[in-house]
Amino acid sequence: MLTVEQIIAAQKAQVATLFDLGTKALSSMEKLTELNMQATKAALAETTGHLSAVMSAKDVQELMKLQAAAVQPMAEKAASYTRHVYDITSGTSAEFAKVAEAQAADAQKQFVAAVDTAVKSAPQGSEPAVAAMKNAVATATAAMESVQKSVKQATQMAEANFNAVAATAVKAAKATKAAA
C-alpha cells in the first residue's frame, strides 16, 4: 500500500516531467519557427533576384537557361529544409521517447516492488500462484523490451529511407539541370 508521502512524491515527479516535456515541445516549436523564418527570408531574396534576372532576359533561350539554373538550387534547398525539419522533430521525439521509457521503467519497478511486497505477505500454499505471477511479470517485461527494440529499429529504417529519398531527389535535380 502506498503512503501519502509516496503519492505526493509521485505527483510531484509527474508534474516535473510534464513541465520538462512542455519546455522541450516549446523549444522544438521555437527551432521550427526560426527555421521557417530563415527559409522564408531566403526564398524572398532569391525570388526577387531570379525575377529580376528573368525580366532582363533578352530571348527565350536565356529565359530557359535561367529557369533551368533555378531548378537544382531549389531542389537542394527543399531537401535541406526537409532535413532540418526532420532533425528537429526527430530530436524532440527522441527526447519524448526517453522520458516515456524512463516512466515505463519506473512504473515497472514500482509494480515489481508491489508484487514482491504481496509475495512476502502471501499465505502458505500460494507458492504456485506467486510463481505464476512472477512469470507473468517477467514475460510482460520481456514483451515491453521487445516492442521498444522494434520501435527503435523501425525508426532507424525510416530515417535511412528518408535519407535515401532526399539524396535521390537532389540527384534527380542535378540530372535535370545537366540535361538542360
pLDDT (tens digit per residue) in 111-147: 777 777 777 777 787 778 777 877 887 888 788 788 8
Per domain, the residue ranges of the chain are: 4-179
In a 13 Å sphere around the CA of 77, the CA atoms on its Cβ side amount to 14
139 near 131, Cβ under 8 Å? Answer: no
Q: How far is CA 84 from the centre of its chain?
A: 12
- Model confidence, pTM: 0.66
Question: Does the pLDDT at position 180 exceed 70?
Answer: no
User: So what's the pLDDT on residue 23?
Assistant: 94
* Helix, strand, coil % in the chain, rounded to nearest 5: 90, 0, 10
Question: Does the pLDDT at position 39 exceed 80?
Answer: yes
What the block records as the C-alpha cell of 5 is 508521502
pLDDT (tens digit per residue) in 76-121: 888 889 889 989 998 998 899 888 888 888 877 877 777 777 777 7
